[in-house]
Amino acid sequence: MLPTPRKVKLVAAGAEGPTPLNAFDNALLAAGIGNLNLIRVSSILPPGCAHEADFEVPPGSLTPTAYGYLTSTEAGEEIAAAIGIGFSEDDYGVIMEFEGRTGRAEAEEAVARMVRDGFAARRKRLRELQVLAATHRVEHCGAVLAAAVLWY
Catalytic positions: 37, 42-43, 97
Three-state DSSP at 59 gives coil
Nearest to 48 by CA among 84, 89, 9, 11: 89
The phi-psi region of residue 105 (left if phi > 0; otherwise alpha if psi is between -120 and 50; otherwise beta) is alpha
Can you list the pairs that 60-63 forms with residues at least 24 positions away whose Cβ atoms lie under 8 Å? 60/35, 60/36, 61/36, 61/37, 62/37, 63/33, 63/36, 63/37, 63/38, 63/39, 63/149, 63/150, 63/151
| Residues 6 or more apart in contact with residue 107 via CB below 8 angstroms | 80, 81, 82, 98, 99, 100, 133, 135
